[in-house]
Each structure stands twice: as structure tokens, then as C-alpha cells.
Structure 1
Amino acid sequence: MDVDVRKRLAVAFTGPSNSGKTTLIIKVAKKLINEHAKEVAIIKNDPKDKAHFDVPGKDSHKFSETGAEVVVTSPTRTTMFSQRHKELDEIIAMLGDFDILLVEGLKTLPLPRISIFRDKIDEEYFPYMNALAIDESIDLNSYALPKGVPVLDLNSEDDVIAWILDNAKAV
């Protein structure tokens, strides 16, 4: 009997709308797939239940163009031709083989989390962040960041990937 000994890792990304979550996930997924030869899966949370799956220009379509497996989950459905909400463990089982799972949203999941901000940091995210990804629009001197939270360059997918490979949770 073959046993899959691959270490499947998961990490989550949170931040306000238009902070760059989707763009960063796309860049990270492409680099993991093309340069690191990793199989990537992506789960996107749709808390307002308004996603249209695989419509050009929408996040789910952009994610699928990376070559990753993609799931969009909302309070009333999970888009993989499923008619009911699924918990994370069920979604992971449906995804099958992957090396790295990137989750957008779902800030209460017990996953290591990168919080993403541009222009200003919302301190309500502090309890959920394990790393902070920002660009030059943020003045860190204006904030009392939680101790021990590494600051990543939002525009460097290499920085983000290095953090993921060191900190992602085995699932």
C-alpha cells in the first residue's frame, strides 16, 4: 500500500478589501507552482455570498488561471459543485493532492496568518496575525505592533514564500 508522505502545508491571508490579498496570493501561487514545483490549492472565503465562480476578471477566475485547485466558500455554499457549506477539513479532503494550501479570508481558522495592508493598518486584525505584509505606504512608527510579528514586503513574493515555508501548518 502506497502511503503519501508529502507534508501538506496551509497558511491564510487576511486584510481589508483592496489591500492586495488576491494579487499577493496569485503571485505566490504562480511562483510556488512554476519555480518551486509545488502543487498549490487555494480557498477563497466569500462572506457576503456574492461570488460568481470562474467569471473572467473575478478573483476565483484569476486564482484558477494560476494552475491551482480553487474552492470558493461562503455562508451558504461551497463552490465545487456542492450544494452545502463545508468545513475546512472537508474542503481539504476534496482538494486531494497539494503541497501548499493558500486560504484567503476565514480569519478565525486555526492557521498561521499573514495580514495584508496598504495605506493604513486596521488594529482589529492584530489578534489574528502571525505576520504582517505591507508596502511603503505604511509608516510602522504609527502603530504598536504585537511583539514578535515579522514584517514582510508585500511586493516580494520571495519574502512571503520564505515565511510560508517556515511557518505554514501541516494539514
Structure 2
Amino acid sequence: MPQPASQAPIVVQIVGYKNTGKTTLVCRLIEYFKQAGYKVGTIKRDAHEFQIDTPGTDTWKHQEAGADMTAITSATRTAVMKRSPEPLARLIDQLREADVILVEGFKTDDYPKIVMIRSVSDLELLQAVSRPVAAAVWPGALPPDAPSLGVPAIGIDRVDELYSLAVSLAR
């Protein structure tokens, strides 16, 4: 069930290397949380430059003219663009109205993490990050004689189990 308004949101990071299924898992978890009545926020870390504004629009012109921050709102959505990176904690503060916040990336931050394991070489990430709570494992990623991971190894197709684990973090 969703959190009382006075409680901080559940924050879960989904981390892994490129093309390990992070975005797909985040989208599947969003569906599960929404079906259960949660208000869901998401935050994504992009290692590359990204462009969300279309050249020629008024907000694009504002940014091109040098605005440090640009906000736009309509009857159905709001966006804020800044010319500086934001720490994860500040982004989470901006989404406090959410019951759960799913974070894609930000490997070095200190929130509970589901670590994506697509191949044996991805296992080193489990030791490199803080607070791993589960490994979302691709079929065939682990050899039969693989040592214990120290966290539950859950198949990437078992989103219900990953969802239950995420919900349990609020307790």
C-alpha cells in the first residue's frame, strides 16, 4: 500500500552496465506500483548529453539565450530545465510527493539497489556499489557453480518478486 503522506518515499536504484535492461525493469516496476495504487516518480542518470527541448521552441530560445533555469507548464505537465547537474538527493527532494521513486543509474549514491546482471563480468558491480539488495539476473548469466552473491538472485522476468522486494524496503 502507498505510504502515508508524512513518510518519505521508497527509493530504489536500478543500476547496471549499458544494455542490461535497466529501463525495461524500471518500466515494469512502474506498472506494478501503479496497479497497487502508488504515486510513482522516476529519475534517470544519462551519461551523455541529452536534449529534451526542440530547437526553435520558446523554451529552447530561452536556454540558447543563456537562461540558467527554464520552467514550462501547461494544463497537463510541467518541466524544469537547468544548465547544471543536480545531485540525486536534490532530485529526490523535488519528488517528495511520490510514494516510490525508481532511480535508473547513479551507481555511487547510497540508496538500496537492484543490480542488473547480464553476464558473469557484471558480478563485480555487486561489490562496487553500496547497498545492493538484489541481483536481477538474465537467464544463463551465472554458471551453475557460481558462488553466493550475498543478495537474492532474482530472474529479470520475475518482476513480481523484484516489486515485492522493493515494497519491503519501506518497512
When normalised by structure 2's length, the TM-score is 0.72
Offset of 1:142 from its aligned partner? 4.6
Find the aligned partners of 1:53 and 1:143 in 2 and give their Cα distance: 42
Q: Residue 155 of structure 2 corresponds to which residue in structure 1? A: 153
Letter in 2 for 1:158: D
Moved over 4 A (4+): none
Offset of 1:91 from its aligned partner? 1.0
Report the number of matched residues.
142
Q: RMSD between aligned alpha carbons?
A: 2.6
Find the aligned partners of 1:135 and 1:54 in 2 and give their Cα distance: 35
Offset of 1:7 from its aligned partner? 4.2
SS in 2 for 1:109: coil
Q: Residue 131 of structure 1 corresponds to which residue in structure 2? A: 134
Letter in 2 for 1:85: P
Q: Summarize the alignment of residues 12-161 of structure 1 with structure 2, pairs less than 5 Å apart.
A: 12-33=13-34, 35-47=35-47, 49-53=48-52, 80-127=80-127, 128=129, 129-147=132-150, 149-161=151-163
Offset of 1:140 from its aligned partner? 4.3
Offset of 1:90 from its aligned partner? 1.6
1:165 paired residue among 161, 164, 167? 167
Runs (5+) with no aligned partner, structure 2:
55-76
Change in Cα spacing, 1:162 to 1:121, as seen in structure 2 (3 Å) is farther
Find the aligned partners of 1:11 and 1:112 in 2 and give their Cα distance: 5
SS in 1 for 2:12: strand
User: Does the CA contact (< 8 Å) of 2:44 and 2:103 recur in 1?
Assistant: yes
Letter in 2 for 1:160: L
Name the % identity. 24
When normalised by structure 1's length, the TM-score is 0.72
Runs (5+) with no aligned partner, structure 1:
56-68, 70-78
Larger Rg: 2
